Structure 1
Amino acid sequence: MSEPGPSDKQGRKKGWPRGKKRTLKIKDVNAPKLPMSGYMLFLNDHREQVRAANPGATFSDMTRLLANAWQAAPQEEKQQYMEAAQQQKERYSRELIKYQQTDAYRAFSEQVKAKGGSVVVSGSGGGGGGSSRAARHDKENEKEARAPPPPAPDQDTAVLEIPIFTETFLTHNREREAELRQLRRANTEFEEQNATLQKHIDNMKEAVERLESETEQQRGQNSALQQHLDQLRALLSERFAAVPLPGCPEPLTPDTVDVYLAKLHALILERPQENQALVATVRDIVHRLEHQ
């Protein structure tokens, strides 16, 4: 048997390892459409507007601009998209339950069982004669035929083993790339939400620190005012102690001076003509207080 040439060795080196198999999830085309997140709904509504405003933007630029637009959007607008996404999730749950009761779902389940139990296609191998490869292939088929079938896979875990660089393999790659893009978009959404929440937390911390500082200042002002009020009550009780009023406790103290002044005010307003002497005494005391 001839030695393999350089092209054969290079093919073996770069090709898929012999005996190793690629897997593919079976996609149910009749299943309900998956729901989208609030961020994805926002992107769908604003993508064309951002593209029109930035005609030369690359894919990365578009991703960044849309993420910034989501970040700058008002919370009320974001909440509308979040509610729409929640409605889609509820819709998907209802449609999925209803779909699982249909003949199409049962037929798909039977298809998954059939393919999972019989379809086995190995990856491409290296050199060797055609008859040898055919013989090995026949032996592998006989071995698979004698082996017991594997357990039937579920809808979400069913796989098919496919050869590389076929149309099925390329379709599989495109689907995985689409899923990867969706995951990246979801990750961007979560990062934007985390950044927004962190900004709110920082703002709340600054507000708390500012309120604590203002509260401390207010406590100091209240303490000074309370001290001034106590001094004023003591002075008034001392000056008005020689002006007794009917119904007021004696002696006049800082604790009772508020009641005394309230009754004095009411007495002067009710009968000013009868209490002219009292009014003159009060004016004299207040006048002396103003000049101290």
Structure 2
Amino acid sequence: MRGRSVDKNAPRKPLTAFMMFMKERRSNSESLASLPFGERNRILGAEWSQMSKEQKQVYSSRAAEERAKYNVLLAEYKSSESYKTWLASNEGYVKNPKRKKGVQPEAERDSRESNFRVSIFTTEFLQYNRLREVVLRQLKKQAIQLEEETALLSKHVENLVHAETRTKTQLQSCSEQLANDEQIQKRLYRELVAALAEVSLPCSGGTSDSISLGTEHITETSVQSFFTQLEQLKQDQKHPELIIKAQELLETAISKKILKLVSL
């Protein structure tokens, strides 16, 4: 039996939203168009999966409009003479002449095996069957397109899962390191407070050459500001006795291992 011919006059099947997106990107990018099929589709699949619902909706709306136009054109075409002619050219059947009631010619009985026909092979049935086959082919093509889209999206999702796992591992490592550094800092502050407990800084209202004892001592929350003031006194060459006393206390704390995290 000869194969069925393609109906060149039939309306062309519309593209899906994803296929519209791929076609548009290929036409707008020479670099994409020059890539191998698999590499190009992998890149476009990744781009599609990263698009927002609003961005995808643009293509979905266009695809829906094209599908609606296609359905209208297909319905009109199926009622045309061109479609009927195409069906007839692919029919390959011979209509049986009506038998007269009670009469069975001898020639018909002799050729009965080779020309056997049953009632289901009517024009209406064959047309319906042809239409079902056309619909089935269209559904198969859609299934293939969806499988390709699913494969691309699945690969991209797999890559995202791996990236997420790596990011979580790095984040956990950074969090642990930060917590460790914070513990070291707290320990250092406690040791500095213990070592410099006898040092009192002059208040801002005191004279440049006098010391107001007891006005400001180092605490765990004021370590940074305390050393900033000490450094400023050193640069201004004021209260050298305070600077010397602080250095001696730090040296003593280190030698007695009261201050373990700092070396002079």
TM-score by length of 1: 0.46
What TM-score, normalized to structure 2? 0.50
The structure showing larger relative contact order (alpha-carbon pairs under 8 Å, at least 6 residues apart) is 1
